Amino acid sequence: MTPRQLTILNRILVRHLSSLLQYIPQAQPWVPPEQTAIMEQLEKLIEEEKESCKGLSDAIIQAKGVLAPVRFSPAFGSSHYMALERYLRWLVPFYQWMLSEDEKDLAMLDDESARQAAEPVVEIGRKHLKDLERLAEEASRSPAAATVR
């Protein structure tokens, strides 16, 4: 893999590891009792994303690349202790943006091994977008949703 390919792979990796979804456990959302199952599903998505990123990290290291540092956006810092539904409303557009950026980066990967390393992460992102849309819809029907502005 060329340095350019490794840079693109790192961009995809950092985008997923520093996503709003990965930040949620640190933000400690308020989860009303009727949304506990939604939070449990969200925790599964978080773990799935971390797991998919391990393969990409390994590929970068095996290609003698250096992993880029992962930092959350400072904008996330103002979002602690909010209702779970509020996070779900933000996650859907965030994932739409993230996937559009992933698609641009995938299109620039002309090395087959680099592309194979990135595709599972992008694919899990596509799956998670659908899951997040479903969870946001489910949360909006919850009685607690009436208290979220």
Per-residue H/E/C for the chain: CCHHHHHHHHHHHHHHHCCHHHHHHHHCCECCHHHHHHHHHHHHHHHHHHHHHHHHHHHHHHCCCCCCCCCCCHHHHHCCCCEHHHHHHHHHHHHHHHHHHHHHHHHHCCCHHHHHHHHHHHHHHHHHHHHHHHHHHHHHCCHHHHHCC
- pLDDT, mean over the chain: 92
103 token code pair: 């698609």
pTM of the model as a whole: 0.89
Higher pLDDT, 78 or 66: 66
| pLDDT at residue 46 is higher than 90 | yes
Question: Per CATH, is 3-141 categorized as 3.30.70?
Answer: no
Average the pLDDT over 123-134 and give the result. Answer: 96
CA atoms within 13 A on the CB side of 147: 9
Average the pLDDT over 19-24 and give the result. Answer: 94
